[in-house]
């Protein structure tokens, strides 16, 4: 293809704009084929160790040629064979001709494709988890800073009992914490396919080892250990169960939903001036309206999160339509859905790190909005106090509903509220008993205490056991 033609090629926004180089490389053709070759080398080494006549010189030749990938030659072979793995076998064999006769010995294509996919996904989960740990630290700091900063709470996006800015941040933090635990579990427990053969029976390997079952079992364990896997699937068809893909993409979908929820909250609160994204000195908010400061990173997180969530349907369909020991219609779908889901999750993490590192709260704005609503917000506290004095909960609830409605039409709603409650003997409350119920500390309940306890008892112990590594720099 000419240079002019290449300039017209479609380039994924993930690789060009959103995802990190680290994640892009994990799903690159170069890394994929490098894994193929490492798997072939590991297979040959294990076979040699277990007694097959494979020479040290053959393994050395494979290792020497492993990093040299001629993609033009691969394309020529694939055009000839119409088989991608056979194309790579021949291209690799051309680079180490003495080893060519033993490359892929006893294996079927999924030995490299499926084990390679599992290695890629494990590496990608570990990269995502390291980034998510950074997000947890940022959010924990924000929550602690604003643990006692009161703000208006919302249910149904209508004014509700007050909370604090920090307590609200713990709602986001808790979701991400659950995601981090799940990613860590999946990465640590992800099994290796091993060397199963064409239909999962290991018949070809039994033949190579002249019926020695123990050697066949040892073969898989040796290879799995080379790639950091402690468990090998005991049962498979030609492929590993696509349930594994489904579980992993469900976990990425869950994280995307967590990020979408947080970013949506930030967008809503940005409108009211309670939160604000960082804004660069030369940043432009709108090409038409110079004064605009749009929450662009939160919006971008939401957009990419919706895409990642949509991808989680693909492995469910693939799992459901795997005929018998395997069909080939899963390959094309997996090549699209799995990398894009990981690249999407990576992009969300990059954006979230940037967003949280410059997110600012305006406690005074939040307090002002809260104070406007205090007469209405105190209703539940007043109801509880009156019930404690022997009042009828249902009857008093109806009276407070009517008083609240009337107060909203008065010039001084607080004064009206106090007078109406005090003069009604059913409440049994004096003004000096009512006023403390209108104080902000009495309205926010355990918001501050819950925030501090959550950080101390759950988040901090979890983070203290995980390394604090640098977040890979990403252009945003």
CATH of the domain at 417: 1.10.40.30
- Residue 236 belongs to what domain range? 110-277+290-366
Same domain (yes/no): 168, 309: yes
What pLDDT does residue 35 have? Answer: 97
Same domain (yes/no): 223, 347: yes
Q: Using DSSP bridges, classify how beta strands 275-276 and 158-164 pair: parallel, antiparallel or unpaired.
A: unpaired
388 phi-psi bin (left φ>0, alpha ψ -120 to 50, beta other)? alpha
Residue 454, in any domain of the structure: no
Q: Which of 65, 87, 105 corresponds to the end of one domain?
A: 105
Q: Which of 322, 342, 366 corresponds to the end of one domain?
A: 366
Alpha-carbon distances of 275 from 39, 170, 355, 362, 365, rounded to whole Å: 50, 15, 11, 6, 9
What is the mean pLDDT of the segment spanning 147-160? 93
Domain count, the chain: 3
Same domain (yes/no): 375, 398: yes
Q: Computed from CA positions of residues 203, 209, 214, 219, in that sequence, does the dihedral angle turn out positive or negative?
A: negative
| pLDDT single digits (tens) 104-136 | 999 999 999 999 999 999 999 999 999 999 999
Same domain (yes/no): 192, 209: yes
Same domain (yes/no): 352, 222: yes
Same domain (yes/no): 176, 220: yes
Among candidates 36, 27, 28, 29, which has minimal Cα distance to 62?
Answer: 36
Residue 156 annotated among the catalytic residues of the structure = yes
Residue 172, in any domain of the structure: yes
More confident residue, 252 or 83: 252
Same domain (yes/no): 362, 227: yes
Same domain (yes/no): 83, 118: no
Contact 380, 161 (CB under 8 A): yes
> What confidence category does residue 401 fall into, taking pLDDT thresholds of 50, 70 and 90?
confident
Residue 476, in any domain of the structure: no
Q: Is the pLDDT of residue 246 over 60?
A: yes
Same domain (yes/no): 202, 238: yes
In the block, which residue shows the tokens 């009517």? 402
Q: Using DSSP bridges, classify how beta strands 150-155 and 158-164 pair: parallel, antiparallel or unpaired.
A: antiparallel
> What confidence category does residue 432 fall into, taking pLDDT thresholds of 50, 70 and 90?
confident
Residue 184, in any domain of the structure: yes
- Range with the poorest average pLDDT among 48-62, 150-164, 343-357, 374-388: 374-388
* Residue of 286, 357, 368, 439 marked active site: 286
In the block, which residue shows the tokens 């957009």? 303
> What confidence category does residue 474 fall into, taking pLDDT thresholds of 50, 70 and 90?
low
Q: Is the pLDDT of residue 284 over 80?
A: no
Q: Is the pLDDT of residue 187 over 90?
A: yes
What pLDDT does residue 285 have? Answer: 56
What is the mean pLDDT of the segment spanning 320-330? 85
Same domain (yes/no): 38, 75: yes
CA separation for the pair 21, 397 (Å, rounded): 59
What is the mean pLDDT of the segment spanning 379-389? 85
End-to-end CA gap in the chain = 31
Same domain (yes/no): 133, 249: yes
> What confidence category does residue 5 fall into, taking pLDDT thresholds of 50, 70 and 90?
low
What is the mean pLDDT of the segment spanning 162-176? 97
> What confidence category does residue 282 fall into, taking pLDDT thresholds of 50, 70 and 90?
low
| pLDDT single digits (tens) 248-268 | 999 999 999 999 999 999 999
More confident residue, 373 or 77: 77
- Range with the poorest average pLDDT among 163-172, 197-206, 267-276, 406-415: 406-415
> What confidence category does residue 213 fall into, taking pLDDT thresholds of 50, 70 and 90?
very high
List the CATH number of the domain containing 299.
Answer: 1.20.200.10
CA separation for the pair 352, 370 (Å, rounded): 28
List the CATH number of the domain containing 58.
Answer: 1.10.275.10
Contact 212, 56 (CB under 8 A): no
Alpha-carbon distances of 197 from 108, 129, 335, 372, rounded to whole Å: 5, 33, 22, 71
What is the mean pLDDT of the segment spanning 238-248? 94
> What confidence category does residue 279 fall into, taking pLDDT thresholds of 50, 70 and 90?
low
What pLDDT does residue 409 have? Answer: 79
* Residue of 2, 156, 425, 464 marked active site: 156
Same domain (yes/no): 60, 137: no
> What confidence category does residue 183 fall into, taking pLDDT thresholds of 50, 70 and 90?
very high
Q: Which of 83, 105, 127 corresponds to the end of one domain?
A: 105
Residue 124, in any domain of the structure: yes
> Taking every pair of C-alpha atoms in the chain, what is the biggest distance, in angstroms?
101
Among candidates 222, 204, 248, 184, which has minimal Cα distance to 109?
Answer: 204
Residue 185, in any domain of the structure: yes
What pLDDT does residue 469 have? Answer: 67
Among candidates 458, 467, 454, which has minimal Cα distance to 143?
Answer: 454
Residue 394, in any domain of the structure: yes
> What confidence category does residue 475 fall into, taking pLDDT thresholds of 50, 70 and 90?
low
What is the mean pLDDT of the segment spanning 29-56? 96
CA separation for the pair 162, 156 (Å, rounded): 14
Angle value at C-alpha 298, between 286 and 451, nearest 5 degrees:
140
Residue 1, in any domain of the structure: no
């Amino acid at each position: 293809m000419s240079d002019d033609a290449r300039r017209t090629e479609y380039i994924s926004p993930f690789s060009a704009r959103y995802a990190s180089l680290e994640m892009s490389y994990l799903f690159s053709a170069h890394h994929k084929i490098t894994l193929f070759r490492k798997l072939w080398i590991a297979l040959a080494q294990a076979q040699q160790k277990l007694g097959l006549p494979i020479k040290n010189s053959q393994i050395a030749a494979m290792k020497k040629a492993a990093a040299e990938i001629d993609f033009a030659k691969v394309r020529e072979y694939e055009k000839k064979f119409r088989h991608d793995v056979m194309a790579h076998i021949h291209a690799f064999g051309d680079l180490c001709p003495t080893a060519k006769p033993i490359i892929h010995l006893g294996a079927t294509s999924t030995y490299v494709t499926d084990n390679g996919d599992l290695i890629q996904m494990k590496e990608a989960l570990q990269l995502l988890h390291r980034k998510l740990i950074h997000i947890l630290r940022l959010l924990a700091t924000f929550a602690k800073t604003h643990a006692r900063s009161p703000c208006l709470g919302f249910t149904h996006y209508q004014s509700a009992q007050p909370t604090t800015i920090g307590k609200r941040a713990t709602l986001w933090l808790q979701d991400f914490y659950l995601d981090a635990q799940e990613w860590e579990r999946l990465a640590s427990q992800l099994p290796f396919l091993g060397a199963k053969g064409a239909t999962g029976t290991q018949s070809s390997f039994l033949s190579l080892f002249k019926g020695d079952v123990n050697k066949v079992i040892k073969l898989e364990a040796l290879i799995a250990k080379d790639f950091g896997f402690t468990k090998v699937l005991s049962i498979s068809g030609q492929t590993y169960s696509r349930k594994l893909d489904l579980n992993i993409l469900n976990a990425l979908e869950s994280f995307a939903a967590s990020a979408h929820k947080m970013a949506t909250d930030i967008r809503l609160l940005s409108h009211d001036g309670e939160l604000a994204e960082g804004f660069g000195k030369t940043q432009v908010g709108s090409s038409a309206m110079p004064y605009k400061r749009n929450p662009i990173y939160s919006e971008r997180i939401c957009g990419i999160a919706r895409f990642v969530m949509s991808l989680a349907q693909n492995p469910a369909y693939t799992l459901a339509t795997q005929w018998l020991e395997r069909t080939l219609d899963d390959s094309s779908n997996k090549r699209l859905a799995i990398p894009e889901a990981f690249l999407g999750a990576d992009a969300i993490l990059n954006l979230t790190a940037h967003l949280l590192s410059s997110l600012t709260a305006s406690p005074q704005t939040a307090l002002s909005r809260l104070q406007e609503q205090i007469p209405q917000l105190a209703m539940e506290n007043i109801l509880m106090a009156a019930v404690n004095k022997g009042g009828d909960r249902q009857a008093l609830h109806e009276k407070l509903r009517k008083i609240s409605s009337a107060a909203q039409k008065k010039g001084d709603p607080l004064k009206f509220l106090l007078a109406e409650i005090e003069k009604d003997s059913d409440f049994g409350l004096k003004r000096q008993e009512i006023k403390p119920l209108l104080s902000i500390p009495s309205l926010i309940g355990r918001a501050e205490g819950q925030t501090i306890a959550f950080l101390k008892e759950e988040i901090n112990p979890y983070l203290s056991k995980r390394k604090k590594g640098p977040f890979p720099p990403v252009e945003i």
